[in-house]
Structure 1
Amino acid sequence: MGLKMNTIEIVLFMLVASNLSNAQVFDVTKNGANAKVDITQALLKTWKQACATKSRSQVLIPKGTFKVSQATFQGPCKAPIEFNLQGTLLAPAVDGNFKGGDSWISFEHIDSLTVTGGGTFNGQGKTAWGKTCTSSQYCGNLPINVRFNFLTNSVVQYVTSLDSKQFHVNVLGCKNITFQHFKVSAPGDSLNTDGIHIGRSTDVKVLDSNIQTGDDCISIGEGSQQVTINKVNCGPGHGISIGSLGMYANEEAVKGVFVKSCTLKNTQNGVRIKTWPDSQPGTASDMHFEDIQLDNVGNPIVIDQEYCPWNKCNAKVSSRVKLSNISFKNIRGSSSTAVAVKLVCSKGYPCQNVQLSDINLSYKGSEGAITSECKNVKPILSGKENPRACITSA
């Protein structure tokens, strides 16, 4: 876990490093950037120069702290491009001059982008959490730290997203994008700070990364297909979630999500799938959670098709999202809640082909013995089952 790399990763890293060493370097300080001024215009000018280069290029932000008000890095570029962030980019604090908006740093319509360098995107979220909206509101007027929109064949590695005001990372419309050795850092009480949110994207990988935040470590939205999450440390946070699904009309299907060899510690939830009741129609299938280590995790295994936060929905009407081909295998560790396995499926569209294998969870709290809760599902059980799921089923 962490920065350890296997032989294949080391070879790939060396190949990437070799390619980048041949890149033409565009240093933002050559365009007037320094620690005393807002560098937005200098940074955009540097990006434009690098993006127009017909050979491999690199935008260099050296060590130091640089203020950026808001920046969108547009493609397409003429050749592969690297955003080499060695220093810290500092977002505006929420004060009398804060203009709001839903994004701070954005990368859009780029093929073969590499974001790397060991630096930090500092969103200064501490100036915003709980001050501009409450815990029962979605803070849409607060910016996401980094957006990746419509990228292909891209890599984000060895950088940190720190204290975002809202989601740390949003991935939209991407194909073949990998996050590796990526770090998210925010306190557990920070509001709406999902680590990585993925939507309408294909072939997304999150590997060997550490996510500490106040909401879902990774959330997977509609239209996400072939998503791999491997060797991720999550906590604090709300766990690793698919959904919530079914809020909007014409949501695209979720298909092929593989969460493996992850560790969750002191999280509000473990691994879960959630859909709204009285939802729009939709489907989610081929979702698999395997080899998961839990340490003091609430609600370790969850399917919740009655997800209704703040009671702002009609919970009496069944979800119309069809869930199928789901597996939870080799999930072990300790639960902070007595109900360790909760499979609550839609009455109108009961879950199909749900497998639980080798579940070994313990609970030492005062709420009674460890147990499970099930509705509208008949899971296929194998191996060790503690607690045994669906002793009674609605």
Structure 2
Amino acid sequence: MTTVAARLQAVMEAWTSACGGTGKQTIVIPNGDFLTGALNLTGPCMGDVTIQLDGNLLGSNDLRKYKTNWIEVRHVDNLAITGKGKLDGQGPGVWSKNSCAKNYNCKILPNGRDHHGAGGQPEHGIHVTDSSKISIFSTTIGTGDDCISIGPGSDGINITGVTCGPGHGISVGSLGRYKDEKDVTDITVKDCVLKNTANGVRIKSYEDSPSLITASKLTYENIKMEDVANPIIIDQKYCPNKMCPSNGNSKVIVKDVTFKNITGTSSTPEAVSFICSDKLPCSGVHMNDVNVEFSGTNNKTMAICNNAKVTATGCLKELACV
């Protein structure tokens, strides 16, 4: 029987060969299930690399096999990951080892982290940070945290045709957790479906950010919500598990955000939540044809709009933030 170490070595040897080759190189993961430990796909590479994922890569539940992340792509240009296979972090087997519900400075479980690339993980489906010109399209993601999270230093990210659920939605952030984070700009989320997720499309930043950063030019278009708990949310006072040291002085600027043709149902009355800072209000927020209705009974669909400068056209009147 092939061991985890042997499979890991085979993948890494294939990566080293392809990354070192010129022209167009392809790595094929054949049909079948392949249990691996940490995969560190580091460049720069000599040419273009495609990973053809026909089989399924499974993340080991033995956390000793990871120094940081499960699949990490760093310093690589012109990388494509395609195919009908799965990246299965097998998250339920390790979620009980996550102490973040009790510890603000907890150790994060192994990530699938992207620095000029993409990856899957036990928590987030795909996490992108310090990257530019990344496209994620035509895929289905189910996870215990964000299906896709866009972190600091991301520019020119295109997310199209993604189905998310279960999970926490498609998020920009969280931003402002650490010092000297870089701006986020030019993010497009289009033609996506969110099913029974804890959030829909979300922008989140810490209120006690140590450095001034900006999230701008964010566009969400043609998004369908299916019983999503918080379909549209900007949260400049993000604080997981209510343990954040807050000074109430946000340094994360959120501006030039467009929500266009957002439809479907919300599992909570608050279909729109703009929880922005009184020190740095959200500005340039545009809602066009936003029609998400509460799927329950008794309570009416509503919007929460705090410290947000919003224009709305073609929206449900309850969501217009007038």
Q: Give TM class, smaller chain.
A: 0.7 to 0.9
2:81 corresponds to which residue? 115
Of 126, 131, 134, which residue of structure 1 is paired with 2:92?
Answer: 126
Residue 69 (structure 2) pairs with residue 103 (structure 1)? yes
> 4+ runs of 1 displaced by more than 6 Å?
none
- The one-character-per-residue Cα deviations of 1:256-285 (angstroms, maximum 9, x if unpaired) are 112222111111111121111122321111
Of 22, 46, 51, which residue of structure 2 is paired with 1:83?
Answer: 51
Paired residues of 1:340 and 1:387 also in contact (CA < 8 A): no
> d(CA) in 2 for partners of 1:273 and 1:195?
17
Which residue type is aligned with residue 131 of structure 1? K
Relative to 1, partners in 2 of residues 1:379 and 1:311: Cα closer, same or farther, differing over 3 Å? same
1:326 corresponds to which residue? 257
Relative to 1, partners in 2 of residues 1:322 and 1:101: Cα closer, same or farther, differing over 3 Å? same
Relative to 1, partners in 2 of residues 1:367 and 1:245: Cα closer, same or farther, differing over 3 Å? farther
What's the CA shift for 1:143? Answer: 2.0
Paired residues of 1:100 and 1:141 also in contact (CA < 8 A): no
Structure 1 segment 69-80 matched on structure 2, within 5 A: 69-80=37-48
Relative to 1, partners in 2 of residues 1:41 and 1:126: Cα closer, same or farther, differing over 3 Å? same
- The one-character-per-residue Cα deviations of 1:136-195 (angstroms, maximum 9, x if unpaired) are 457635322x444345xxxx7xxx95xx43xxxxxxxxxxxxxxxxxxxxxxxxxxx111
Of 187, 191, 205, which residue of structure 2 is paired with 1:261?
Answer: 191
Relative to 1, partners in 2 of residues 1:116 and 1:264: Cα closer, same or farther, differing over 3 Å? closer
Residue 238 (structure 2) pairs with residue 272 (structure 1)? no
Q: Percent identity?
A: 39
2:274 corresponds to which residue? 343
Moved more, 132-141 or 286-295: 132-141
- Matched residue of 1:213: which SS? coil
What's the CA shift for 1:223? Answer: 1.4
Which residue type is aligned with residue 193 of structure 2? T
Which residue type is aligned with residue 109 of structure 2? L
- The one-character-per-residue Cα deviations of 1:23-71 (angstroms, maximum 9, x if unpaired) are xxxxxxxxxxx63563133443344344444454443443334443334
- TM-score, normalised to structure 1, is 0.72
Residue 241 (structure 2) pairs with residue 310 (structure 1)? yes
- Matched residue of 2:290: which SS? strand
2:109 corresponds to which residue? 142
What's the CA shift for 1:299? Answer: 1.7
> d(CA) in 1 for partners of 2:83 and 2:232?
36
1:360 corresponds to which residue? 291
Relative to 1, partners in 2 of residues 1:353 and 1:101: Cα closer, same or farther, differing over 3 Å? same
2:36 corresponds to which residue? 68
Of 52, 61, 66, which residue of structure 2 is paired with 1:93?
Answer: 61
Structure 1 segment 145-224 matched on structure 2, within 5 A: 146-150=112-116, 161=120, 164-165=121-122, 193-224=123-154
- The one-character-per-residue Cα deviations of 1:211-254 (angstroms, maximum 9, x if unpaired) are 12221111111111122222221121111111121122222111
Paired residues of 2:312 and 2:321 also in contact (CA < 8 A): no
What's the CA shift for 1:364? Answer: 3.9
Paired residues of 2:114 and 2:127 also in contact (CA < 8 A): no
What's the CA shift for 1:315? Answer: 4.3
Paired residues of 2:234 and 2:274 also in contact (CA < 8 A): yes
Relative to 1, partners in 2 of residues 1:289 and 1:128: Cα closer, same or farther, differing over 3 Å? same
Choose between structure 1 and 2 for higher RCO, CA contacts under 8 A separated by at least 6 residues. 2
- The one-character-per-residue Cα deviations of 1:77-123 (angstroms, maximum 9, x if unpaired) are 4443343443334433338xx34421233344344434344333443
RMSD: 2.8
What's the CA shift for 1:373? Answer: 1.4
Which residue type is aligned with residue 330 of structure 1? N
Relative to 1, partners in 2 of residues 1:195 and 1:333: Cα closer, same or farther, differing over 3 Å? same
Paired residues of 1:270 and 1:300 also in contact (CA < 8 A): yes
- TM-score, normalised to structure 2, is 0.86
Paired residues of 1:216 and 1:239 also in contact (CA < 8 A): yes
